[in-house]
A and B are shown apart, each in its own frame.
Chain A
Amino acid sequence: MTTFIVPLALIGGLTSVGVYLLLERGLTRMLLGLLLIGNAVNLLILLVGGPSGNPPVRGRVSDGQTSTADPLAQGMILTAIVISMGIAAFVLSLIYRTYQLTLDEEVTNDPEDTRVAKLTDEETAALDEARPSPDQARDTEEPDELDALPGLEGSR
C-alpha cells in the first residue's frame, strides 16, 4: 500500500491541535478539540481505504481510473460523521445549560473529590467514631431503639 505524506501530516496536525484543545478547561474548546480529532480519524479511515479511483457505483467511471474506490471506508466515515454530529449537538446543549446554571462554561473539579482529599485526620476519625464515649449515667436496662422493633417491645 502506498501512502502519501500530505494526508498523514494533516491527520497528525489535526489530532495534535485537537488534543491541545481537549486539554483546555473551556467547554466549547473541548468540543472543538473533539471535533478536530474526529475529523482526523475520518481522514485516517479514508486514507487506509486505499488510493482514489472510480466512484463505488456500478457503471460509473472517472477519467483514467483503473480501480474503484473503497465503498466501505466511505460508509464508515459517513456513520462516524453522523454520530459525531449528534453528540456535538448534545454537548452544545449541555454547554448552554451549564451557562444558564452557572454563567460559566468551564469544567470544574469534583467537589466531593476535593472534600475527601482535604479531610483531616480528626474529621475522618469523627466520621468513623462508632463507639461514642460511654455515658455512665445511662441506664442500659432501659428499652432502646433496637427494642422498639414491632412485636419485640417486651423482648427483655
Chain B
Amino acid sequence: MSTTASVLTPLPVLIPLIASAATLVAGRRPRLQRTITLIALSAVVAVCAALLYLADHEGTIALHVGGWGESVAGMGPLGVTLVVDRLSALMLVVSSIVLLAVVFYAIGQGIRDGDDRQPVSIFLPTYLVLSAGVCNAFLAGDLFNLFVGFEVLLAASFVLLTIGASTERVRVGISYVMVSMVSSVIFLIGIALIYAATGTLNMAEVAARMDGVAAGTRSALFAVLLVAFGIKAAVFPLSSWLPDSYPTAPAPVTAVFAGLLTKVGVYAIIRAHTLLFPSGGLDQMLMVAALLTMLVGIFGAIAQSDIKRLLSFTLVSHIGYMVFGVALSSELGLSGAIYYVAHHILVQTALFLVVGLIERQAGASTLQRLGGLAAASPLLAFVFVIPALNLGGIPPFSGFVGKVALLEAGAQDGSVLAWLLVGGGVVTSLLTLYVVSRVWTLAFWRTRTDAPEGDVAAAAPSALLDDTEDILLAERTDVGRMPVGMLVPTGALIAVGLTLTVLAGPIIGYSDRAAAEVLDRDRYITAVLGEAPR
C-alpha cells in the first residue's frame, strides 16, 4: 500500500472533525464559519475521489490507525482498522458530493431567509460531525468502529432534527432518539455476541473465524445484526419511525438524512451479508422483507398529502430495491444494488431539496394548498420533474438503469420468490410514477384556486426554525423568486444524478467490479490481515 493511500484514508473523518472544532471556535463569525465548512467539505470530496481512484487501480486499502506495529502471534492487527475497497470508496464519493451540495443549499437558504435569530452557530459544526460519522461508518474495518461511526452520526442527527426545539420537532425528535438508541443497543448486543463467538471484532478476522462457528449460531448472530441495521435502513417492518420523523426537519436536514442515513444502514447490511455471513441463511427472509418494504412503502406514499411525507414513504419503498439486490447474493444483484444505492442517494436528496424550494416559493408543502406552480415558476417545475421521473424509473434516467439491472438479476435467479420480487419491483416502480405524477398534476398543473386550502400559506419561510402560523397567501409578500444559493446546489445535484445516466456504462462497470470484489471475501481478509497463515 502506498504512503499516499495511508495518508488519505483517515482524512474523510479527520477533516470534518477538525473543521467542526474550528467552526465552533468561529461561532460568532458566520462568514468565517461558512468558509471553513465549504473548504472542509470540498476537501473531503477531493480526498474521496482520490481514494476511489486508488481503490479501483491499486486494490483494497487497509490502514491500522495508531501504528502500534504488527500483530502479536495469533492476534489481529493492533489499532483502529480503516478499509477502503471499491464499495466503500463509491459510497464515500457519492455521500461527500451530497454533503457538499446540501451545505451549499443550507447556507444559501440561511442567507436568504435571515438566520440572525436562528441557532446557526450550532448548525454547521453539527453538520460537520454528521459528515465525519457518515465517512467513519463507510471506512470502518472493525465492528466497534462501525458502531462508533453510527453513534457519531446519530448524535449529530438528533441535534439537527430538533434544531430550534419547536413543539413539533421535539415531539418527533424524542421518538427518533428512542428508536435510534434501541437500534444501537441491539447492535451492541450483536457486537457482544460476535465477540463471544469469535473473540475479535476486526471484520476481516471475524470473517475468517466465522467459518468455525456453528451454522445455527451464525444465523442467530446475523439476525441480531440485521435487526439493528434494518431499523437504521428503515426496512419493513422496522420502518414506521421514518415517515414520522424526517418531514418535520428543515429541508436541507431532511434531504441529507433521506440521502445518507438510511444508506449507511444499507451499506452495513451489504457488508454483514457478504463479508461476515456469506452463507446466506436468511436470504429468503430478506427477500420477503424487501418485497413488503417496497409495497407497504409505496402504498403509504399514495395516501399522503404532504409532499415531504410522501417522499419519505417513497424513500422507505425504494430501500426495498436495495435489500432485494443484496438478498439475491449474486454478483449481478449486488452490482445492481450498489448502483441503485448511488442513484437513490442522489435523486432522493435532490427531491427533498426541491421540496424546500417549493416551500420557499409557495409557502406550503402540502398538496391541499399547492397549485399553479408550473405557471408561477417554470424553472421550479423543471428541477422537480427531472428527479421525479428519475425516481419513477423512466428511461433513460439512472433509476431505469438501476431497476433494469435489479430486475435482470432477479430473473437470472429464477426462483419463485425472486420472480415475485421482480413483479413487486415493477408494480412499485409504476406506483412511484403514479405518486410523483399526482404531485405534478396537483401542485404544478391545477390552478391554486382549485386547491382545497389554496388561499393559505405559512407566515414566513422556515429556514431552520419552523413557524407553524398560517396567513393568507395574498398577504405574503416575499413569495416569488427562488434564492440562487438554493437553486444552484439543487441543480448541481440533479446534474450529478444525470451523469449516472450519461456515464452509465463505466459506472455499471465499476459497480460490477465492486460487487465482484465484495463477494470475494478472501481478498478483503488478505488485504486487512496480510498473507500470514491464520
A residues bordering B, Cβ < 8 Å? 1, 22, 27, 30, 34, 37-38, 41, 44-45, 48-49, 72-73, 76, 79-80, 83, 86-87, 90-91, 94-95, 97-98, 101-102, 107-108, 110, 112-113, 116, 119, 126-130, 132, 144-146, 148-149
Complex Cα–Cα for A86 and B177 (A): 12
**B158: CB under 8 A from chain A?**
yes
Complex Cα–Cα for A127 and B443 (A): 11
Q: Are A149 and B181 in contact (CB under 8 A)?
A: no
Q: Mark B137-174, 1 if CB is under 8 A from A, else 0.
A: 00000001000100100010011001001110011111
Nearest-CB residue, chain A, relative to B167: A101
Query: Given that A30-B178, A127-B305 are known contacts, is A90 also in contact with B372, CB under 8 Å in the complex?
Result: no
Secondary structure call for the B interface: helix
Complex Cα–Cα for A81 and B508 (A): 43
**B215: CB under 8 A from chain A?**
no
Complex Cα–Cα for A60 and B397 (A): 65
Q: Which of B417-470 contact A (CB under 8 A)?
A: 438, 441-442, 445-447, 450, 452
Q: Are A130 and B367 in contact (CB under 8 A)?
A: no
Q: Report the number of A-B residue pairs with Cβ-Cβ less than 8 Å.
A: 106
Q: Which of B192-251 contact A (CB under 8 A)?
A: 192-193, 195-196, 201, 244, 247
Query: Given that A79-B148, A126-B452, A149-B375 are known contacts, is A94 also in contact with B185, CB under 8 Å in the complex?
Result: no
**Can you report 22 A-B residue pairs in the complex whose CB atoms are below 8 A from each other?**
A30-B178, A41-B188, A48-B193, A48-B195, A76-B191, A79-B148, A80-B188, A87-B158, A87-B177, A87-B181, A90-B159, A91-B178, A94-B177, A107-B178, A112-B309, A116-B305, A130-B442, A130-B446, A145-B447, A146-B375, A149-B375, A149-B378
Complex Cα–Cα for A49 and B304 (A): 49
Specify which chain A residues have a CB less than 8 angstroms from the CB of B172 in the assembled complex: 110
Q: Are B178 and A145 in contact (CB under 8 A)?
A: no
Q: Mark B295-310, 1 if CB is under 8 A from A, else 0.
A: 0000000011110010
Q: Mark B264-303, 1 if CB is under 8 A from A, else 0.
A: 0000000000000000000000000000000000000001
Q: Are B452 and A127 in contact (CB under 8 A)?
A: yes
**B189: CB under 8 A from chain A?**
yes
Specify which chain B residues have a CB less than 8 angstroms from the CB of A49 in the assembled complex: 195
Complex Cα–Cα for A146 and B447 (A): 9
How many chain B residues touch A (Cβ–Cβ < 8 Å)? 51
Q: How far is the CB of A140 from chain B (nearest CB, A)?
A: 14
Q: Which of A34, A37, A102, A145 has the most CB of B within 10 A?
A: A145
Q: Are A116 and B303 in contact (CB under 8 A)?
A: yes
Q: How far is the CB of A105 from chain B (nearest CB, A)?
A: 9
Q: Mark B98-115, 1 if CB is under 8 A from A, else 0.
A: 000000000000000000
Specify which chain A residues have a CB less than 8 angstroms from the CB of B452 in the assembled complex: 126-127
Specify which chain B residues have a CB less than 8 angstroms from the CB of A126 in the assembled complex: 452
Specify which chain B residues have a CB less than 8 angstroms from the CB of A107 in the assembled complex: 171, 174-175, 178
Q: Are A97 and B368 in contact (CB under 8 A)?
A: no
Q: Are B375 and A90 in contact (CB under 8 A)?
A: no
Q: How far is the CB of A148 from chain B (nearest CB, A)?
A: 7
**B504: CB under 8 A from chain A?**
no
Complex Cα–Cα for A27 and B167 (A): 15
Which of the residues A44, A83, A113 comes within 8 Å of B192, measured between beta carbons? Answer: A44
Q: Are B192 and A112 in contact (CB under 8 A)?
A: no
**B374: CB under 8 A from chain A?**
yes
**B182: CB under 8 A from chain A?**
yes
Complex Cα–Cα for A45 and B185 (A): 12
Specify which chain A residues have a CB less than 8 angstroms from the CB of B185 in the assembled complex: 34, 37-38, 41
Nearest-CB residue, chain A, relative to B185: A37
Nearest-CB residue, chain A, relative to B175: A107
Complex Cα–Cα for A136 and B173 (A): 51
Specify which chain A residues have a CB less than 8 angstroms from the CB of B375 in the assembled complex: 145-146, 148-149
Q: Are A45 and B192 in contact (CB under 8 A)?
A: yes
Specify which chain B residues have a CB less than 8 angstroms from the CB of A83 in the assembled complex: 151, 155, 184
Complex Cα–Cα for A83 and B158 (A): 13
Specify which chain A residues have a CB less than 8 angstroms from the CB of B306 in the assembled complex: 112
Specify which chain B residues have a CB less than 8 angstroms from the CB of A48 in the assembled complex: 192-193, 195-196
Q: Are B181 and A34 in contact (CB under 8 A)?
A: yes
Complex Cα–Cα for A80 and B188 (A): 9
Which of the residues A41, A73, A149 comes within 8 Å of B189, measured between beta carbons? Answer: A41
Specify which chain A residues have a CB less than 8 angstroms from the CB of B192 in the assembled complex: 41, 44-45, 48
Nearest-CB residue, chain B, relative to A102: B167
Q: Are A132 and B450 in contact (CB under 8 A)?
A: yes
Complex Cα–Cα for A22 and B180 (A): 13
Complex Cα–Cα for A37 and B188 (A): 11
Complex Cα–Cα for A6 and B196 (A): 18
Which of the residues B201, B247, B442 comes within 8 Å of A128, measured between beta carbons? Answer: B442
Specify which chain B residues have a CB less than 8 angstroms from the CB of A146 in the assembled complex: 374-375
